[in-house]
Amino acid sequence: MNPSDFAKVQRTDPSKIPVIDVSGAINRTNLEGVSKAIYQAATDHGFFYISGHGISPALCEQAFLISKEFFELSPEDKQTVSVNTNQRGWMAKGMSQLPGAKTHDLKEVFFWGYETNSDDPDILAGKPLVAVNQWPIQTFPDLKGSLLPYYDAVRTVAGHLMAAIAVSLGQDAGFFENVYEKPLARGQLVFYPPSTQMDEHEERFGVASHTDFGVLTLLLQDNSGGLQVQSKSGEWIEAPPISGTLVCNIGDLLARWSNNRFASTLHRVVNRTKNARYSIPVFFDPHTDAVIDPVDLGVLKENALYEPVTVGQHISSRNKQSFKQYKMN
């Protein structure tokens, strides 16, 4: 491969990845209008930006600052919360390799999820992906308190987006509420070091081409750029940072739930700056036992493209294909 061909990308424009003002869904003054805009984006692109979400810039800045401080810790300090097969804790560079990728991803990740106690019935029953978070209390006690306010704000916004999505699919606004009373709502802090010539020679991405595993992703990205999305024509286009917005995309489970009305779109990251890139995705997924079945969204059984599957079952199977800690245990 010619090195100049690695991760070639086209510049984007609003016709390819739209910006949707979701304030009408947040305050319920225009839920119908927001639902129509999301439906158009979700069926056509699978990716869109959201503005008017109401999350303060200070909370976003605080989340980025604490992320940067965490990744600057020594490997020994981060290793105290080494990632486990519940997908909680710190994952070192080299441990993520997505199916079909030629090499491992060039990133470190800290994983957490919905705050759960050790005596929670779901944990005692061994249900997939329900776990106690691994916060580095001894080595970096500020992480939890500084990160959770942003995480909680994102979950609130995501709940309003799911109401708009329900309406867009012909359901009542509260259709998804029951399965989100105790969500998985998986979060990640992601650190991408700059890509080198050797990385590009080996076709190593920050994260290789993939679709997201779950329902709905809300991504806060810094100003580095590097997120690339595959268009319907097969070209890769940039999804550059836009101040005051989050990037949203449809995951595999929502595409499945909608019977492929919504698109789960391939995307990837390559950090070609000279600086570290930071991003904070929150994967807003329902309870681990929630059943994803197109029939529940009005599809006739004979027309359903997918059999029912639980959230925990699907995401766990994808994790096991992608992350080395599952192969080490």
User: What does the DSSP assignment read for 239-287?
Assistant: ----TT-EEEEE-HHHHHHTTTSS----EEE---SSS-EEEEEEEE---
What is residue 100's predicted lDDT score, i.e. its pLDDT?
Answer: 87
Instruction: Indicate the pTM of the whole model.
Output: 0.95
Q: Which of 135, 176, 139 is nearest to 155 (CA)?
A: 176
The tally of CA atoms less than 13 A away on the side-chain side of residue 203 is: 13
The pLDDT assigned to 30 comes to: 98
* pLDDT on residue 148: 98
Which segments of the chain have a pLDDT < 70? Answer: 1-5, 7, 12-15, 324, 326-329
List the CATH number of the domain containing 24: 2.60.120.330
The total domain count for the chain is 1
Domain of 43?
Answer: 3-326
